[in-house]
A and B are shown apart, each in its own frame.
Chain A
């Protein structure tokens, strides 16, 4: 069948693109989580200014399309900051800022979901706010945060497809490129769809399993 050679030929190409998608998503999740965690601590603090600022940050970056944020960074960096960076950097910065907004909310909710009694018990043995937060509450919050974080990772994987629009070579762009090269639209899209589906669906099943495990313990 004439389809076979295409698949085999471009297999390496698609695999590489998939790896890039995964890598970009992982970087975004990791960095976004670090920022998000820090912001969540500020968000729950008594400092009105910091609390409001981080609230606004989360609302703004979750309440606007990633595509628009992407264009802002894409157009803004060279024009306003006179920085000429690679497509990867542009996309990464944009996705990190976007993810940080979501992770702020996820960590905030997780910390507040920890039973009040844990704070009471920590204070009763003389702990300070900081000690109670980091030694007792945050460890428990981390467990609560796992399922939504996994969900966010799956979201990021799908959102990374937008990077193709500014020419970054990830999985979707790879599909478009192969489509152009082979004029076989159907196959190209089928492969891209399958790859996204396999990765996201497996992660989604894994996430459900993890959630059940966490509920048990």
Chain B
């Protein structure tokens, strides 16, 4: 049973039809990569999954149950997902540690001491224990993103959603973030990653979904898809990215 399934999702921004009958599914412990040119709707799709955006029609099933859009249900549903943003979105006036503990303390009502212990463990996991008390302004992009990953993990989500996690990073720091993501994949975390990084897609993803202009054009096992693309659009996309 797939942990997450969408059925004919449609979304419009004003008159722009951003998602067109999008249906796909994700298995537990499967790293899924969503590839596509900008404007293909992949970020919007991701944001619909944790209900940051509302869909116009269609259904999203989490663990075989449809997602409710009632306010309190939405707040609860979101805790099943953890999102990592392209622009990190760390809380600027809180230290790295405080960024990670804010969720557990405020939302999950975890006692401070316990939250901090777990936060330190997570910082250890992303190799940033020495920056626990640093403010985001003092951290490099890659470090901020790793703190953001720890922050998402602190809520013990069942699925991690990555929205172009390395697009805003300097080439030098990308490696550190990818390393963390690699390890998460090895630990069988369910991940959905929207990215441009073909290399990462090749290495980590078991399954790839290719989107263009709001629709899923092709999907399949990653080796297959990348080696033998069936659609002209995917072929063109791969050509363009490889030759950049």
**B103 contacts chain A at the CB level, 8 A cutoff:** yes
Find chain B residues with CB under 8 A from A139 CB. 93
Number of interface residues of A (CB under 8 A): 18
Find chain A residues with CB under 8 A from B87 CB. 117
The CA-CA distance from A182 to B37 in the complex, in Å, is: 81
**Shortest Cβ distance from A162 into chain B, in angstroms?**
39
**B91 contacts chain A at the CB level, 8 A cutoff:** yes
Shortest Cβ distance from B137 into A: residue: A217
Q: Which of B77-96 contact A (CB under 8 A)?
A: 78-79, 81-83, 85, 87-93
**B52 contacts chain A at the CB level, 8 A cutoff:** yes
Check A120 against B83 for contact (C-beta < 8 Å): yes
**B107 contacts chain A at the CB level, 8 A cutoff:** yes
The CA-CA distance from A139 to B87 in the complex, in Å, is: 20
Check A127 against B137 for contact (C-beta < 8 Å): no
**Shortest Cβ distance from A161 into chain B, in angstroms?**
38
Find chain B residues with CB under 8 A from A140 CB. 92-93
Q: Which of A25-33, A50-58, A59-67, A128-136 contacts B (4 or more CB under 8 A)?
A: A128-136
Find chain B residues with CB under 8 A from A115 CB. 89
Check B52 against A123 for contact (C-beta < 8 Å): yes
Find chain A residues with CB under 8 A from B82 CB. 124-125
Q: Do most interface residues of chain A lie in helix, strand or loop, or is the interface mixed?
A: helix
**Shortest Cβ distance from A95 into chain B, in angstroms?**
32
Number of interface residues of B (CB under 8 A): 28
Contact A136:B83 (CB < 8 A) given known A125-B151, A125-B152, A131-B107: no
Check A124 against B107 for contact (C-beta < 8 Å): no
Check B103 against A127 for contact (C-beta < 8 Å): yes
Check B75 against A121 for contact (C-beta < 8 Å): no
Find chain B residues with CB under 8 A from A167 CB. none
The CA-CA distance from A143 to B93 in the complex, in Å, is: 10
A-B contact count (CB 8 A): 62
**A5 contacts chain B at the CB level, 8 A cutoff:** no
Find chain A residues with CB under 8 A from B85 CB. 117, 120-121
Check A125 against B93 for contact (C-beta < 8 Å): no
Find chain A residues with CB under 8 A from B232 CB. none
**Shortest Cβ distance from A20 into chain B, in angstroms?**
37
Q: Which of A115-172 contact B (CB under 8 A)?
A: 115, 117-118, 120-121, 123-128, 131, 135-136, 139-140, 143
**Shortest Cβ distance from B75 into chain A, in angstroms?**
5
Find chain A residues with CB under 8 A from B152 CB. 124-125
Check A127 against B93 for contact (C-beta < 8 Å): no
Tell which of B89, B107, B151 touches A127, judged by Cβ atoms closer than 8 Å.
B107
The CA-CA distance from A124 to B93 in the complex, in Å, is: 18
Check A125 against B52 for contact (C-beta < 8 Å): no
Find chain B residues with CB under 8 A from A123 CB. 50, 52, 78
Check B91 against A118 for contact (C-beta < 8 Å): yes
Shortest Cβ distance from A217 into B: residue: B137
Check A135 against B106 for contact (C-beta < 8 Å): yes
Shortest Cβ distance from A114 into B: residue: B92
Shortest Cβ distance from A139 into B: residue: B93
Contact A124:B91 (CB < 8 A) given known A117-B85, A131-B106, A135-B102: no
Shortest Cβ distance from B163 into A: residue: A120
The CA-CA distance from A124 to B148 in the complex, in Å, is: 11
Shortest Cβ distance from A135 into B: residue: B106
The CA-CA distance from A31 to B167 in the complex, in Å, is: 46
Instruction: List 10 tightest A-B contacts by C-beta distance, closest first.
Output: A125-B103, A117-B89, A121-B89, A126-B79, A124-B83, A126-B107, A126-B78, A128-B75, A125-B155, A131-B106
What would 9 more interface pairs be, CB under 8 Å, given A136-B102, A140-B93?
Answer: A117-B87, A118-B89, A124-B78, A124-B81, A124-B82, A125-B154, A135-B102, A139-B93, A140-B92
Chain B contact residues, CB within 8 Å of chain A:
50, 52, 75-76, 78-79, 81-83, 85, 87-93, 102-103, 106-108, 137, 148, 151-152, 154-155
Chain A contact residues, CB within 8 Å of chain B:
115, 117-118, 120-121, 123-128, 131, 135-136, 139-140, 143, 217
